[in-house]
Structure 1
Amino acid sequence: MRNTYAQQNKWAGYWFILPSLIIMMLLIAYPLLFGGYISLFNTNLLNKWEFVGFDYYLQAIKDPEFLQKIGLTFKYTGLVVIGNLFVGTFLAIILNMKLPGRLIFRAILILPWLFPDVVVALLWKWLFNPLYGLINHILGGMNLISEPIAWLDKPEFALFGVVMASIWKGYPLVMILVLAGLQSISKDLYEAAEIDGANKWKSFLHITLPGLMPVLVVTIILETVWWFKHFTIVWLLTAGGPVNATSVISIDIYNTAFQDFRFGKAAATAVIVFFICLLISYLYRRFLANDDN
C-alpha cells in the first residue's frame, strides 16, 4: 500500500501540469514546428507543395534587401528598448519616492500598457496628422516649425514617429518591473551607505543598480524579443513606408505571406527571426547576467 501511495504521489504532479502542457504544445510547439516544416516548401498551403529544402534560407542570407531590413529592425528595436528603459526607470524611481498622490500617478502611467496596440496606433496617427494633429499644433504654437510636418509620410521622420508611439506603449512594463525591483532592495543598505558617507549617486551605483541588475536583464530580454518581432503599431502607422523607411522584418514577413502568398519563404524568414531572438537572449544572459544567475 505504501508503494502504491508513493507511486500515486510521484505521478500526481505530472497529472496537474498535463493540461497546461497540452495547451502549450498546441499553441506554441505545434505552430513552431509547422512553420519550420513549411519553410522547406514552395507552397500555397492548399495544393502546391514543392520541396525546396533550405533554398529560402540561403536566399535570405544572400539578399541585401533582407539584410537591410534586419538592420532596420535592430535599429528600431534598439531605439525602443533604450527609450523604454530610460523612461520606465526614471518614472519608477520617482514613483518609488514617498510623494503625495503617487498611487494615482501609478494608475495613470500604466494606462498605455493596458490599451490595445490598435488603439495606441490610431491615437498616435491622430497626434501626427499634418492637418489637425496635436503635435504640429504645439510645435507651431511654440514657433518651432513654420509649416505642418507630415511626420508619417516623410522617410526622415517616419521611423521617429513609430519609435515614439512604441515607447509610449512599452514603457509601463519596464516601469512596473523596475519599481518592483526597487521595492525589493532593503532600506537598511541605504541607511548603512548614508552612515558611511555615501551620497545619492554612489548609493545608486553601488546599491540600486546591482540590486536591479537581475530585473533589468529579464526586462531587456523581454523588451528586445518583443519589439524585434513587433508588427501591429508599425503596420497601422506606416505599413512599412514611406519608401520602406519603416519596413521592419515583421512587415516583410506579412507582405511575403499574405500579399505575395509565398508562405514557404515567409516561414523561412520567420524561423531566422526566431533564431535571432534566441541568440539575443543568450547574449544578454551571457554578458549582462550576474554569476549568481
Structure 2
Amino acid sequence: MAKERETTKKESSGKTLQAMKRKREPYLYLLPTIVLMLLLLIIPICMVVRYSFFDNVIVKKDPVFAGLKNYAMILSDKTFFVAVKNTLFFVGASVIVHMFLGMLFAILLNTRYIGINLKAFFRVIYVLPWMFTASVIAILWKMMMNPNGIINYLLQITNLTSSHIEWLGSRNFALFSVTLINIWAGYPFYMVSILAGLQGIPTDLYEASAIDGANAVQQFIRITIPQLKPIIISLFMLDFVWTIQQFALIWMTTGGGPINATEMISTFIYKRGFSKYQYSQASASAVILLVVCSVIAVFYVRHQRERD
C-alpha cells in the first residue's frame, strides 16, 4: 500500500511539473519579443515622459524638476498651434480622401464588367504608390512640382495657368501640395483592405436584394457599407494614427516651411529637439501627441474586441 501511495504521489507531481512546463512555454516563446518591446518601446516612452517634467535635460548636467512648466510653454507657443492646425487639415483631408479613393478603386477592381487580366494590370498600377519609400515619393513629387516640372507644363498647355507655380515653395500651395502627396502615397492601403472586404461579402445578399427590386445605390448603402463597417472603422483609426505621425514625407519635401506653412506636430517636435536643443519641450510635445494617439488606440482595441 505504501509503495502504491508513493507511485501515485510521483505520478501526480510529474503531472503538475508537466502542467507547469506547458504553462511556461508560451511565455518563453514570447520572452524575446517582450524584452525587445521593453528596451525599444516601454523604456524610451518612460524616459520621454520623465524628461518632459524636467528643466532642459541632456543639455544640462543636473536638470531641475520643472513640473508642468514645459507643457505650459508648449501650449502658449503660437508655432505649436500653427502645427496643430496644419496637422488637423493634413490628417482630416488625407483620411477622408484616402477612404473615398480606396473605396472607388476597390469597387472598380471588384466589378464583374472588367476582365481578369485587366484587373490584374490595374491592381499593379493602383498599388504602386504603396511600394515606394518616403524618400522616393518625396524626390518624385519634388521633381514634378518644380516650377519647371511636368505639373506646371500640363497646366500651361491646357491654359489652366499662365505662370510657373511654386507648389512646395509657396505659402498658399505648400500645405495643399504635401497633403496631395500623402493622399497619393496612402490610398492603396485602403484600396487593398476594402477590396478584400468586398470579396468577402456573399453574393447571395446582392442577388436577393435584386429580386426585391433594389438598385445599385440601394445595394451599396444597405449591403456594402454595413458589411464593410468594421473594416472602415479600423482603417479610419489606423490611418489617423499613422498620418498624425507622418514626418519623413514632410521633412523631405518642405521641411515644415515655407514660414511654418507646412509645420506639423512631428516636425515641430523634431525642430525643438534637434535644431533648438530644447529636449524637455520636445518631450512635452511628444507626450501630448502620445496621449492623442493612445486615445485613438483605446477606441481601436475596444472596437476590435466588440468585432471579435
1:22 partnered with 2:35: yes
Look up the equivalent residue of 1:95 and give its one-letter code: L
User: 2:74 — aligned with what?
Assistant: 60
Q: 1:76-98: per-residue Cα shift (whole Å, max 9, x none)? A: 11011111111111111111123
User: 2:20 — aligned with what?
Assistant: 7
81, 97, 105: which is aligned to 2:111?
A: 97
Deviation at 1:285, TM superposition (A): 7.7
The DSSP-based 3-state class of the residue aligned with 2:55 is: strand
Q: Which runs of 4+ in 1 moved over 4 A?
A: 281-286, 288-293
Q: Which is greater in Rg?
A: 2
1:111 partnered with 2:125: no
Q: 1:148-172: per-residue Cα shift (whole Å, max 9, x none)? A: 1111111111111101110111111
Look up the equivalent residue of 1:186 and give its one-letter code: P
Look up the equivalent residue of 2:107 and give its one-letter code: I
Deviation at 1:282, TM superposition (A): 4.8
> Larger deviation: 274-283 or 156-165?
274-283
Distance 1:283 1:145 in 2: 45
User: 1:150 — aligned with what?
Assistant: 166
State the number of aligned residues: 291
User: 2:198 — aligned with what?
Assistant: 182
Deviation at 1:280, TM superposition (A): 3.7
User: 1:137 — aligned with what?
Assistant: 153
Distance 2:222 2:142 in 1: 42
Look up the equivalent residue of 2:145 and give its one-letter code: F
Look up the equivalent residue of 1:54 and give its one-letter code: L
Look up the equivalent residue of 1:263 and give its one-letter code: Y
Deviation at 1:176, TM superposition (A): 1.0
Distance 2:299 2:89 in 1: 17
Deviation at 1:58, TM superposition (A): 2.0
The DSSP-based 3-state class of the residue aligned with 2:173 is: helix
Deviation at 1:50, TM superposition (A): 2.9
Look up the equivalent residue of 1:125 and give its one-letter code: K
Equivalent pair of 1:44/1:261 in contact (CA under 8 Å): no
User: 1:229 — aligned with what?
Assistant: 245
- If the length of structure 2 is used for normalisation, what is the TM-score? 0.89
1:82 partnered with 2:96: yes
Equivalent pair of 2:193/2:231 in contact (CA under 8 Å): yes
Equivalent pair of 2:82/2:263 in contact (CA under 8 Å): no
Deviation at 1:67, TM superposition (A): 2.4
Distance 1:184 1:118 in 2: 35
User: 2:292 — aligned with what?
Assistant: 276
Distance 1:196 1:215 in 2: 27
Equivalent pair of 1:214/1:290 in contact (CA under 8 Å): no
201, 205, 208: which is aligned to 2:217?
A: 201
Equivalent pair of 1:42/1:262 in contact (CA under 8 Å): no
User: 1:45 — aligned with what?
Assistant: 58
Deviation at 1:181, TM superposition (A): 1.1
Look up the equivalent residue of 2:237 and give its one-letter code: I
1:246 partnered with 2:259: no
Summarize the Cα distance change of 1:285–1:210 in structure 2 as closer, same or farther, 3 Å threshold: farther
Deviation at 1:207, TM superposition (A): 0.9
Deviation at 1:62, TM superposition (A): 3.2
Gaps (5+ residues) in structure 2?
1-13
Distance 2:221 2:305 in 1: 16
Distance 2:134 2:119 in 1: 26
The DSSP-based 3-state class of the residue aligned with 2:64 is: strand
Equivalent pair of 1:253/1:269 in contact (CA under 8 Å): yes
Look up the equivalent residue of 1:110 and give its one-letter code: V
Percent of counterpart pairs with the same letter? 38
46, 55, 65: which is aligned to 1:33?
A: 46
1:159 partnered with 2:175: yes
Deviation at 1:233, TM superposition (A): 0.9
The DSSP-based 3-state class of the residue aligned with 1:110 is: helix
The DSSP-based 3-state class of the residue aligned with 2:174 is: helix
Look up the equivalent residue of 1:229 and give its one-letter code: Q
Distance 1:86 1:116 in 2: 23
Q: 1:242-273: per-residue Cα shift (whole Å, max 9, x none)? A: 12111111111111000101111101100101
Equivalent pair of 1:152/1:161 in contact (CA under 8 Å): yes
Distance 2:77 2:164 in 1: 38
1:217 partnered with 2:233: yes
Q: 1:35-72: per-residue Cα shift (whole Å, max 9, x none)? A: 11111223352653232122111222233432232122
Equivalent pair of 2:147/2:166 in contact (CA under 8 Å): yes
Distance 2:57 2:291 in 1: 24
